[in-house]
Amino acid sequence: MNIMLASLGQGLAHPVQGTQQAFRTLLSAMAAPGRIMALRGVAQEGVQPPASQHPAHPFGLAMTVSLLTLLDPEAPLHLHSPLNSAAAAAYFRFHCGAALTDASAAPIVATRAADLHSGLWAALAQGSDEAPQLGATLLIEVAGLDEQQPLSGAALLQLRGPGIQHVQSLAVQGLAPDFWRWRQGQQRALPRGIDLVLCCGPRLAAIPRSTHLTLEA
C-alpha cells in the first residue's frame, strides 16, 4: 500500500542531536533498571508519532522516539496489532530504513500492554549462551509507571541486580500477572533472555534481562 510522503508524521526535528540525546536516555534507563526517565528537549522535539490501526490506540511519544533511535536497515521491527498499520510501516521505513518482520525474527518488538499475550512473548528471540545479544528488545506501551506511588491495579515490582544498589521499586499498570511470572521464569535462562523498555507517554523505564525481578502484587 502506498503512503504519500506528505502524510507521514515528522521524525525528530534535529535527527543527529535528537537521536544522540534519546540514545543517552535509553542507555541511562538500561544502566539504572526501574528508574523512570523522561524524554526532554531535542530528544523528543518535533516528533509526530505514526497512526496505528485504531485512533484510540495511538503510538506513545517515548515508544516512537525509542524506535526511531534503535531501528536501522539492519534491525527489522515487529509491530503487534493494532500498532501494525500501513502508516506505521511507512513511517519507520522512511525515517529509519527499517522493515517489518515476524516476531520470532525481529530484534525489536513493539506492542501495547493490553494486546500482549503469551503467543507473542513465547515467540521472542532469546539469544544463546554464546550470543545473548541476539535476544529481542520488547517495547511495551503501559497504562502507568511510578517508582514511589502505588497505582490502581498495578503490579509492584522489586528489582535487584546490576545497576541497582539495593532494591528498586517500580509500579507498572496494565500488564497481566502472567507476563511477569513468565519474565521471572526467564531469569533461569541467563545470559539468554529479552530486554524490556516500558513506555508511558513521554516517559520510559527499562528492565534488562540481567535484572532479577520479584512480583509483589
Identify the domain containing residue 13 by its residue range: 8-140+190-210
- Whether residue 106 lies inside any domain: the answer is yes
Task: Quote the pLDDT of residue 3.
Answer: 52
- Whether residue 114 lies inside any domain: the answer is yes
Sign of CA dihedral 200, 205, 208, 213: negative
Write the CATH number for 62.
3.40.50.11310
Nearest in space to 109 (alpha carbons), one of 92, 95, 90: 92
- Whether residue 64 lies inside any domain: the answer is yes
Task: Quote the pLDDT of residue 1.
Answer: 46
- Whether residue 95 lies inside any domain: the answer is yes
Cβ count within 10 A of residue 215: 15
Report the alpha-carbon distance of residue 91 to residue 176 in Å, rounded: 30
Q: What is the pLDDT of residues 128-176, one digit of tens each?
A: 999 988 999 999 999 999 997 777 888 899 999 999 999 999 999 999 9
pTM for the model stands at 0.93
For range 70-77, the mean pLDDT: 93
> How many domains in the chain?
1
